[in-house]
Amino acid sequence: MIFLVYNFLIISLGIVFLFLKRKAPWWTALVNLVFTVTMVLSGYRFDLVLTGNFGVHLLLDQTSYFFLILTAVVLLAVFTKGLNVSLSNLLLILLGALNLAFVSYDLFNIYVTVEVVSLITFLLVVEGRKKIQYWSAFKYLILGTVGMNLYLIGIGVLYAGNGTLSISDISKVDSFASVLVAVGLLLRAGVFLFSMWLPQVHSEAETPISAVLSGVVVKSAVYALVRLEHVVNWDVVKIFAIFSALSGVLFAFLSKDYKRILAYSTLSQIGIVLASPVTAPVYALAHGVFKSWLFLLKDELPERDVTKWKRLDFWTWLSLSLASLSIMGLPGLAGFSKNLVLEQLHGWEKIFMEVVFVGTAASFWKFLLKPFEFKKKLPGMYNPVLLIASLTIGLYFASWERVLESFLLMGAGLLVHFLFKNLKIEKYPLEDFESMLGVYLLGVVVCLFLSL
């Protein structure tokens, strides 16, 4: 129960500070990291059912650990940035909500926590008060509501067939209900065909919010999909995941806008995360670390158009290079855990995923090849936080027998970069509201067809 009390306290502090118009102190995120790491190292776990079949089922286990550590690390890094009163307190509330989401183990509580996280996300995105932020947040809210309403219908069907909402007690899975649950969560996770809202929302939000959105928020739906592995048809999820990984990396490679590159890369990386439920928690943690790092560096860069960069400050270039090498999969850094994903795939799936890793490397080599100059400028505190996290993940989950393969994929990416570096995309398709809704409905139909 200490976990629940702690997180309700975090949420309450955020609300109180918000009404008092006082900035939430950065050390609250540090306390959360210490609390989380202590909990993980001590092996603290629980399995609680609060009020029977209609109540809340909470489970803290190894799967939850990965997502809780991810939340703690990314939020600490973000809190080292200069946040205003509203952002700091909304992020503190989001911290508590995400912690509770990552221990949810019943169908309805997952719905509630994912929707709470989405509502806070909406408030965070519009905090910049720019027209494009309002519009992108509105599309995110409307499409998300459509998706989660389908999810809600799905869990209603599952409850009617099983008489319980607890995930562990779901034994009869109706294929139609399975599809409704899957398509609702795939939208929130940011998988292609379901989530063309993602690139605009993630690229147009304020920098700290973009880091949180790509680093952590989309993982709330990833967590739900992993928990519901036996409810959703994972073979179908994998098909959409690989398609998302391929399409996202293509758009990322063709983009010249820095935040668009990162946003489309998230669409791709979530596909990698969902390629296997076994490795999803590990790679979700790795992706959250290096992607939030890349987003937080945006304010240190000259402008968003990467083709117009002349020279970068050395410390900025070094941090950008380390974060880019991490997402490429350099041995010893967080992205090296991609080899765990490859070990779970076979045949055409593995070949396509290797193409994705080559494309990812090709998309980020352009940052390492930029010239730099020395200035009297110190790197932000988020850099050592995320570097330590990246090294810890990369070393702990290293598959050293695959070092050569990783270097070959990175080398192939460098070759692709030089061969096709002049190719660029000027317009981004399928991002108007009507197209988004149409593509989403198409995704639902395809998911139904594949599940037959």
Q: What is the pTM of this model?
A: 0.95
Residue 142 CA, chain-centre distance (Å), reads 20
pLDDT, one tens digit per residue, over 350-408 is 999 999 999 999 999 999 999 998 886 778 899 999 999 999 999 999 989 999 999 99
CA 53 to chain centre: 31
> What angle is formed at CA 286 by the lines to CA 239 and CA 101, rounded to 5 degrees?
80
Domain boundary assignment for the chain: 233-421
Neighbours of 43 (CB within 10 A): 8
Residue 285 has pLDDT above 90, yes or no: yes
pLDDT digits (tens, 9 = 90+) for 324-347: 999 999 999 999 999 999 999 999
Distance of CA 385 to the CA centre of its chain: 18
Which pLDDT belongs to residue 52? 59
Count CA atoms within 13 Å of residue 58 on its CB side. Answer: 17
pLDDT tens by residue, 290-320: 999 999 999 999 999 999 998 999 999 999 9
